[in-house]
């Protein structure tokens, strides 16, 4: 028997509780199934929506175990890719949305959805990062691949106090960039400076959209959690051959821009999708996370470590924006 947080529907009502299950309850994961002792998971905004029944996150059948991230130890593997005792990370690939996710002490996951925990990263640190850190690292890699180097000038991060935004600030800071954090949260300024921001700009500088298709070039690069008018402003304010990595829509999903910044300044709009990121790139991103952030960075970014029972109440806090930093779920506690 093991414990899992189970979302269920009865008479149209969503229920969420910790249940004792056996492996027979867990849907099979296919020919390359890996059975895991899950060690940690994390609580992302998307998980908070799923657990509270908002945002149509769950697309699989009920009952469902949510949690888009997990790290675990291999107990049995039908795939040559892993052997008993290996430590592996799973993020995205429909975990906790279509397939059962990480809020459990045991899981069955397809080997295709797992990568090895890199040397230098503890299981807990991997979940302090979670999808937020992984997405931030993919964004940084995309900028680097487009020649956005620290010498080129300031890089702005929007939604900077959020999970992925603050990870992006930390990563850029650790890599020697001049990081400008854009935030709507005045109480986050100190936290963002401690993460590596050299300057803070208010969120409302971007959210009305650009006044002209091209404004003066302020940024060598940008990492955007917000979308909408904010992203349109960033595109108009990128320097010649600058790039923006777009991963979020916290402020809107529409994008109104013109082709001028692209054809007259050669700027690049780089899309980031952590969910279906190919495994080679996943491995690289996780290795880069392990070598870029220090133990102290991970510690300072941990808002709270909670057990399975606390997930519903802490999810409500996450949705209220009451938590700064990452929430780690110690599923074995």
Ligand X SMILES: NC(=O)c1ccc[n+]([C@@H]2O[C@H](COP(=O)([O-])OP(=O)(O)OC[C@H]3O[C@@H](n4cnc5c(N)ncnc54)[C@H](OP(=O)(O)O)[C@@H]3O)[C@@H](O)[C@H]2O)c1
With CB under 6 A as the contact rule, the residue among 6, 38, 226, 328 that binds ligand X is 226
- Name the one range near ligand X by CB under 6 A: 25-33, 78-86, 249-257, 294-302: 249-257
- Name the one range near ligand X by CB under 6 A: 83-91, 169-177, 235-243, 270-278: 270-278
Cβ proximity to ligand X: between 185 and 292 the closer is: 185
Count of CB atoms situated within 10 Å of the CB of 123: 18
DSSP code at position 61: P
Cβ proximity to ligand X: between 2 and 177 the closer is: 177
Angle (CA) 319-70-296 rounded to 5° is 80
Is the separation of the CB atoms in 164 and 186 below 8 Å?
A: no
With CB under 6 A as the contact rule, the residue among 104, 110, 135, 268 that binds ligand X is 135
Cβ proximity to ligand X: between 120 and 321 the closer is: 321
Residue 270 interacts with ligand X (CB under 6 A): yes or no: no
Q: How far is the CB of 85 from ligand X (least distance, A)?
A: 30
Residue 139 interacts with ligand X (CB under 6 A): yes or no: no
With CB under 6 A as the contact rule, the residue among 144, 275, 292, 302 that binds ligand X is 275
Cβ-based neighbours of 96, under 8 Å, separated by 6 or more = 47, 50, 64, 65, 66, 67, 68, 69, 102, 103
With CB under 6 A as the contact rule, the residue among 118, 251, 261, 325 that binds ligand X is 251
Please give the C-alpha separations between residue 309 and each of 67, 100, 306, in angstroms, as whole numbers. 13, 17, 8
Cβ proximity to ligand X: between 41 and 77 the closer is: 41
Residue 163 interacts with ligand X (CB under 6 A): yes or no: yes
Is the separation of the CB atoms in 50 and 58 below 8 Å?
A: yes
Cβ proximity to ligand X: between 240 and 316 the closer is: 316
Residue 133 interacts with ligand X (CB under 6 A): yes or no: no
**3-class state of residue 254 by DSSP:** coil
Residue 49 interacts with ligand X (CB under 6 A): yes or no: no
Instruction: Determine whether 113 is exposed, middle or buried from the number of CB atoms within 10 Å of its CB (0-12, 13-18, 19+).
Output: buried
Please give the C-alpha separations between residue 253 and each of 49, 178, 249, 250, 302, in angstroms, as whole numbers. 17, 28, 5, 8, 29
Q: How far is the CB of 166 from ligand X (least distance, A)?
A: 8
Chain contacts with ligand X (rule: CB under 6 A): 44-45, 131-132, 135, 159-165, 183-185, 188, 203, 207, 225-226, 247-251, 272-275
């Amino acid at each position: 028997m093991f414990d899992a947080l189970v979302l269920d529907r009865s008479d149209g009502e969503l229920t969420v509780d910790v249940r004792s299950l056996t492996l027979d309850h867990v849907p099979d994961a296919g020919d390359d199934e890996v059975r895991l002792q899950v060690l940690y998971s994390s609580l992302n905004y998307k998980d908070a929506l799923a657990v509270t029944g908002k945002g149509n996150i769950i697309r699989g059948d009920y009952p469902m175990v949510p949690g888009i991230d997990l790290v675990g130890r291999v107990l049995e593997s039908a795939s040559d890719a892993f052997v008993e005792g290996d430590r592996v990370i799973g993020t995205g690939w429909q975990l906790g949305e279509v397939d059962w996710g990480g809020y459990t002490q045991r899981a069955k996951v397809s080997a295709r959805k797992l990568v090895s925990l890199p040397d230098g990263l503890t299981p807990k640190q991997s979940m302090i990062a979670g999808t937020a850190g992984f997405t931030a690292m993919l964004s940084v890699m995309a900028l680097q691949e487009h020649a956005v180097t620290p010498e080129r000038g300031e890089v702005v991060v929007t939604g900077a106090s959020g999970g992925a935004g603050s990870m992006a600030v930390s990563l850029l800071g650790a890599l020697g960039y001049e990081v400008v954090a854009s935030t709507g949260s005045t109480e986050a300024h100190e936290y963002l400076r401690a993460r590596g921001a050299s300057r803070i700009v208010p969120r409302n500088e971007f959210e009305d959209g650009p006044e002209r298709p091209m404004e003066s070039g302020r940024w060598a690069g940008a990492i955007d959690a917000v979308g909408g008018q904010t992203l349109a402003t960033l595109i108009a304010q990128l320097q010649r051959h600058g790039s923006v990595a777009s991963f979020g829509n916290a402020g809107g999903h529409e994008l109104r821009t013109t082709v001028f910044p692209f054809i007259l300044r050669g700027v690049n709009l780089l899309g980031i999708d952590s969910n279906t990121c190919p495994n080679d790139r996943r491995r690289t991103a996780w290795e880069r996370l392990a070598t870029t952030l220090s133990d102290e960075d991970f510690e300072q970014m941990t808002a709270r470590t909670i057990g399975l029972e606390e997930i519903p109440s802490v999810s409500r806090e996450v949705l209220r924006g009451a938590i700064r930093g990452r929430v780690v779920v110690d599923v074995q506690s």
